[in-house]
Structure 1
Amino acid sequence: MSSSQRSEGSHAFFKKYISNKNSLMDFITRFNRALRHQRHNELVADHIDMNENPKVNTTWPMESQMVKLYTKKKWLEFQSEMIESHSYYVQQTFTEVASTVYHVMKFQSSSSSKPRVLMHDKQRDYISCSCRKFEFEGIPCRHMLAFFRINQVFHLPDTYILKRWTRDAKVGAIYALGEQNVIDDPNSEKYLMSRHSRLSYKASVLVDDASLSNERITFLDEQFDCIYKKIQEMSISTTCSDRSQRKKSIDETLGIIDPFVVRTKGCGKRLKSSKDKSTSNSRLCHGCGHRGVSHDKRNCPNLQQGVSSIRSNEDNHHISLDDTYEPNLGSIAGSNNMR
């Protein structure tokens, strides 16, 4: 019943904003609007609980106790049940060593109305009512309050006070998720989600409390800036330390040397170029001592140049001799004529 009612309650809430005729974009817009309204109403309720004190109608100490613990909405429900409890009386019907059974009836009830049955467990000192209001809604019913009033129980025991309906319901949330993962694997996805959820909850509580006044907002804003700068410094130092450790680990590793040269299969002689071929095919000239293609003593340019120079010198020498010993043909001819 509880799970089905929870689903019906969420359906009734969203039906105020969403219908089956909305498009996908319209649905997202209306859904976000509904969440904003819900969070705004929650902030308004927190403000009322912190700054308003409901009126107490009786002098019963239990009423003065619960008006300080319950939220205003739950306090009004509890006050209604407490006022109605004065219309009931309690009658013991059956008793045993471990438990006692009571009937709770109205003073002006009709003969056809059935009494409510209270079961008192003596070992646990716990009372349960057949109406199941406490198990269903989380607050003591009028029949239980009538039993407390008749037995002079002036303060409601902690067993019947649920924290979810008190003003301190948002304080001290416990996250057991990831407790074992701290030792096993701190970098696992489940553990990271647990840490993110815990920090998100704390941040949301701070924002909700600070948004009630301008002074708190200014203080929280400054603290957020300081925390952000500190986290940035920590991240930079962590990055530098990681780099140094990585460099140290690289230096400590063994040096990598070149592999041994292995002759591959099918490796033959290197193909020679035309220049190499011409150099290898050159012959040694016995005249000048140099190598060259088609170069030998017979056609050596150096030898040919030397021979031509020698020949030119010899020619020049013959010419000079001819000029020196050439006879004077004119004089010879004149002497002949004179004869």
Structure 2
Amino acid sequence: MPGDEPKMIITDQDAAMARAIFEVVPTTFHRLCIWHITTKFSDKLPRTAYWKEFKETIWEIDNIDEFEEKWHAIITKSGLTDHPWLSSVFDLRKSWVPAYVKHIFAAGMSSSQRAEGSHAFFKRYISRRNSLMDFITRFQRALSHQRQKELLADHIDAFEKTQCALLLTMDKQMAEIYTKAMFQKFEQELMQSLPCFMELKVDDASKAIYKVSERKRGKTRVTEVVYDKYSDQWSCSCKGFEFIGILCCHALALLKREQIEYLPNKYILNRWKKTAKSGLVSDSNGNEIKDCENNSLLIKRSRMSRLASDVIEHALMSEEGCELLSNNLNDTRVMLKLLNDGVGPSKVGGSSSQTRYLKDPKRVTHKGSSKRVKGAKETRMKRGIRHCQQCGQTSHDIRRCPRMANTS
């Protein structure tokens, strides 16, 4: 992939993958799939275990100290202090518990469900019985279908008749009634989703700290929102913006309380905008990467890239090698520019006597071709001419022989 190393990689508990990720991308955070771990609770633990309390502790606690305190309280109460599997899972808590990993952006993903979804998608087109060529053909067909659906969805989003266009077709009085009703409904839904209580704890020249209580499913969840006055930045203890990329309801409630009408641009990531696909894709050197539809050009580019990489590795061994390669590359660049401008190859690359002629490759038979199925008539003709077993003539067989008729 072009660009920097990924910020996070989510896999299951595989030791070989863990070693490979640590060696190849050491700066990438390796997270364990939380789904693969939580589904084992019912198998590894007895039925009397407090799985409901474990689930609430894992998903609903954002503070690290509070999580560890609640975890130890549950295993002490359930008598699972010496359970080997629980101890091993707790030792790996920094790799899968949300309280430890929400500070890294992952677009809200905590499991390998995206990979499993890709597997389920491609299984509709590919099977293990496909040959290599069948696999490539079916894979490209699956990608083309997926891209077609994506283009169709983008077209609907861009050209469908929105509610704003619907207001233009109404008269003024009906439009005002409809708009007022829509805003009232939106405000009711917003107030139901936002926390119900906010308390100012600290307010000085540098920052302001709010205590936000959220009532959800009969339980109260308390978070802490900090406003840095110097950098004009909001941050919540739930790490919603850092982990998902969208401001949480706790920060939105305080923005509404401060009567901020527009959300700052720094809280709207480019990946969520409609113009996310309109930008240029660049490599690590800042060069634009263009999509190429010709597979032959991609193969040539890959072959020449490997050759250039090997030449550069040999040239780096000495200063003379670097100077020689730089001079040759400059000369080659000038020659290629003249060639692209329409100058003949004889003037650019020397005489035409250096041209190499290639012969046709040897023809080989197809090893996988099956034999042609022959018809019944063709099979009978190949066996030869039949003779009557009674009289020896070829015009009939023993069932139609005159001698047999006279005998009967």
Range of TM-score over shorter length:
0.3 to 0.5
Greater relative contact order (Cα < 8 A, sep 6+): 2
TM-score (ref. length: structure 2):
0.37
> Which of the pair has more CA radius of gyration?
1
TM-score (ref. length: structure 1):
0.43
